[in-house]
Structure 1
Amino acid sequence: MKTFQLNHPGEAKHDRPQTTWLSRLLPGLVLTGAITALAVWLSDFPSLNHLGLSALTLAIVIGMVVGNTVYPAAKPWCDEGVTLAKQRLLRLGIILYGLRLTFAQIADVGATGILIDATMLCSTFALACWLGQRVFKLDRDTSMLIGAGSSICGAAAVMATEPVLNAKAEKVTVAVATVVIFGTAAIFLYPWLWQLNAHYHWLNFTASQFGIYTGSTVHEVAQVVAAGQGVSPEAENAAVIAKMIRVMMLAPFLLLLSGWIARRKGVQEDGQASGMRNITIPWFALLFILVTAFNSLDILPHSWIPALITLDTVLLAMAMAALGLTTHISALRQAGLKPMLLAAILFVWLIAGGAGINQLVQHLFG
């Protein structure tokens, strides 16, 4: 015989306490903020700073440690705030990244520097897609994320590409891990290569040209700075400018990638090339360009720029912390060795192929 339980009117509605949007978001934002504060503090230590371990890198590492230990118990309260940090704060951070750049930096490096950067970006990303999917049989998202991180600006490029691909957190973390490992190796390798080249005269590099080579091939901005410092001040300046131009190419890259994905999706759905009408424009990439253009006008008071760049670093670090919190070690183990092998081959290409491309372009147009 069936039994029925009677509830008082409205009782079910009060089983869970009503909460405001702020109270739902606050715990997750406080947690990612605390991890960010620790990461920023640690990044100021000389020993970590010289290794090129930026606040972004440290934030994802700390986030992963917390995410795989105590975070599961706190997830019901923190999930909404962590999701906000991983998505909305990331986009805002990419937009504000334009405050680090000006169009005048392009003129400082010249047409050869732009051509070198563009060639390295296109060749490295194309190689990543081909090797990843055809040789290593990796999925499209993992191949593209590793390619974006290797060819543009490391973790920031991986994070900016994620919403265009709608990739899973563990795939993003695998790609960021490759940037950390091989970008850190580059910090020690490039000054050594400079010394070897000075001794054996393999390639005709001045300090400034070697700086452009460094900026066009090393993954992260912080890693470029550390590698350039190991060569000379002249090399460091050229390396940073070349790297900033490479970073500026992130926005057109995202727009082209979004268009390509929409076109492929349209072709698969109806067998026509009409999918272009379904393009999802990454508006944060367009706003990134606008902020860069605005910064180039030199309207903002110079005293504001350091504070805004610090805010940008905090936003990006919170997004990285959120990514770490939502990444499980088991998912990284399931990714296996293939992503690292792909990143290793790209690393060799950046060093050897990058040296060849730098020499060829400098010879033809320098």
Structure 2
Amino acid sequence: MQFSPARTLPRRLARHGVDVLPGVVVTATVATVSTMIGSAAPVIGSAVPAIVIGVLLSLLRRRAMAGHQKADARLQPGITYSGKFLLQLAVVVLGAQLSMSRIVEVGLESLPVMLVSLTVCLVGAWLIGRALGVERKLTTLIGVGTGICGASAIAAVSPVIAAAGAEIAYAVSTIFLFNILAVVLFPLLGHLLQLDPHTFGLLAGTAINDTSSVVAAASVYGTAALGFAVVVKLVRTLMIIPISVGLSVMEARRSAGGHRLTGRRILHLVPWFLVGFIVVAVVNSFGVIPDGPREFLVHASVFLIAMALAGIGLSTDIPALRRAGWRPLALGGILWALVTAASVATIALTSGMR
């Protein structure tokens, strides 16, 4: 009798696959379209088109399915699956972009700038978010998105804090707006401060949120700036791990009503997908993953994030977005300015403006 779950596992997996397939096909289609848009306009990337298309389809879906509840119910399991499990899987696959040797090398140089800018961003998010009256989870998403790595950080943290689809959509859209501004303004700032390519790469990698925008801004400044900026940006991605673990502990404390958290309980709070992220990064460090498959995994992570954000967009509560108002956008703008100022100041103090 105790072996029945194992014996029925293939059947249960097959049934689950049938349940999620219609919705997954929809999110995969949206992700394909958004990837094509991202390829044509790299500055935009695929994440924002995916969530925008998803939100637009959500409006059409609610109207079209108003009298067809059964058809709508067939899509929902796959949409939910994309917005949750595929989001977590995408974080695991992101580890294929990193190697431990490069992490140590770049991390030692960029760590002071990253720690100062991240601390300023998270403390600022807490204080300014409260002052503006922005909801706690939305404040957290905008804070980690600005302080770490845009949509990827939002993707990693949202399941940890159980963020709603509307909150994720607003946070991603806010980060995207300031990514676009960064592409235009950061090269001008670099020239104004007379930064050499290496120093500009450090600034871009620590102060611009999303990888696509880091690439766009650094490529304008020159190929020497581009290579270093991208590696700094990927190392900065590792900050997802301690932040997510810390948020897991805080959420557990909040739900436990102040009961003491033991080391064993804290260990159980570490999300599985962050463990997977570290394992993939370590495996990649030993050169086990050949160039071809690694390149495939990098593209797969981007596509999975697009699918996940499409699912989130399709589940978004539009009235909740309207109720959020202008305050979260103001929070994102202030944090972006604080991170930029903190990065410039730390670079000037630790290595000088070269």
1:283 pairs with 2:278: no
Shift of 1:353: 2.2
1:339 pairs with 2:336: no
1:114 pairs with 2:111: yes
**Cα distance change, pair 214–85 in 1 and its aligned pair in 2 (3 A):** same
Q: What is the aligned-residue identity percentage?
A: 30
**Cα distance change, pair 68–111 in 1 and its aligned pair in 2 (3 A):** same
Q: TM-score, normalised by structure 1?
A: 0.86
1:193 pairs with 2:189: yes
1:252-331 to 2 correspondence within 5 Å? 252-266=242-256, 269=257, 271-274=258-261, 278-279=265-266, 280-331=269-320
Aligned to 2:76, which of 71, 74, 79?
79
Aligned to 1:61, which of 27, 31, 52?
52
Question: Do the aligned residues in 1 keep the contact of 2:155 with 2:305 (CA within 8 Å)?
Answer: no
1:96-107 to 2 correspondence within 5 Å? 96-107=93-104
CA deviations over 1:37-84 (Å, ceiling 9, x no partner): 111112111xx22xx111122211111111112355253220000001
Letter in 2 for 1:96: V
Provide the C-alpha distance between the structure 2 equivalents of 1:115 and 1:106, rounded to a whole number of angstroms: 14
Letter in 2 for 1:65: L
**Cα distance change, pair 308–110 in 1 and its aligned pair in 2 (3 A):** closer
Provide the C-alpha distance between the structure 2 equivalents of 1:75 and 1:314, rounded to a whole number of angstroms: 24
Aligned CA RMSD, in angstroms, stands at 2.0
Tell me the residue number matched to 2:34: 39
Provide the C-alpha distance between the structure 2 equivalents of 1:325 and 1:256, rounded to a whole number of angstroms: 30
CA deviations over 1:310-329 (Å, ceiling 9, x no partner): 22222111101001111133
Letter in 1 for 2:25: V
Aligned to 1:359, which of 344, 348, 351?
348
CA deviations over 1:287-328 (Å, ceiling 9, x no partner): 111111111111122221112222222211110100111113
Greater Cα shift, 251-260 or 240-249:
251-260
Question: Do the aligned residues in 1 keep the contact of 2:184 with 2:217 (CA within 8 Å)?
Answer: yes
Q: TM-score, normalised by structure 2?
A: 0.89
CA deviations over 1:61-109 (Å, ceiling 9, x no partner): 1111111123552532200000011111111110010001112222442
**Cα distance change, pair 36–272 in 1 and its aligned pair in 2 (3 A):** closer
1:216 pairs with 2:206: yes
Secondary structure of 1:230's partner?
A: helix
1:89 pairs with 2:86: yes
CA deviations over 1:232-266 (Å, ceiling 9, x no partner): 11111111111111002211221122123323443
Provide the C-alpha distance between the structure 2 equivalents of 1:210 and 1:113, rounded to a whole number of angstroms: 12
Tell me the residue number matched to 1:6: none
Count of residue pairs the alignment pairs up: 333
Secondary structure of 1:219's partner?
A: coil
**Cα distance change, pair 76–272 in 1 and its aligned pair in 2 (3 A):** closer
Provide the C-alpha distance between the structure 2 equivalents of 1:272 and 1:34, rounded to a whole number of angstroms: 45
Question: Do the aligned residues in 2 keep the contact of 1:93 with 1:313 (CA within 8 Å)?
Answer: yes
Letter in 1 for 2:56: V
Tell me the residue number matched to 1:152: 148
Provide the C-alpha distance between the structure 1 equivalents of 2:118 and 2:92, rounded to a whole number of angstroms: 21
**Cα distance change, pair 278–68 in 1 and its aligned pair in 2 (3 A):** farther
Letter in 2 for 1:261: E
Shift of 1:110: 5.0
1:70 pairs with 2:67: no
Question: Do the aligned residues in 2 keep the contact of 1:108 with 1:241 (CA within 8 Å)?
Answer: no
Provide the C-alpha distance between the structure 2 equivalents of 1:105 and 1:119, rounded to a whole number of angstroms: 21
Provide the C-alpha distance between the structure 1 equivalents of 2:289 and 2:99, rounded to a whole number of angstroms: 13
Question: Do the aligned residues in 1 keep the contact of 2:120 with 2:339 (CA within 8 Å)?
Answer: no
Provide the C-alpha distance between the structure 1 equivalents of 2:17 and 2:282, rounded to a whole number of angstroms: 34
Provide the C-alpha distance between the structure 2 equivalents of 1:105 and 1:185, rounded to a whole number of angstroms: 29
Tell me the residue number matched to 2:10: none
1:23 pairs with 2:18: yes
Shift of 1:226: 0.4
Provide the C-alpha distance between the structure 2 equivalents of 1:109 and 1:22, rounded to a whole number of angstroms: 42
**Cα distance change, pair 110–24 in 1 and its aligned pair in 2 (3 A):** closer
Provide the C-alpha distance between the structure 2 equivalents of 1:164 and 1:311, rounded to a whole number of angstroms: 22
Secondary structure of 1:154's partner?
A: helix
Letter in 2 for 1:176: V
The one of the two structures with greater contact order (alpha-carbon pairs below 8 A, sep at least 6) is 2
Aligned to 1:226, which of 216, 226, 249?
216
Q: Look at both structures and tell me which one has the larger radius of gyration over its CA atoms.
A: 1
| Structure with higher helix content | 2
Letter in 2 for 1:210: F
Shift of 1:275: 7.1
Unaligned regions of 5+ residues in structure 2, if any?
1-13, 66-70
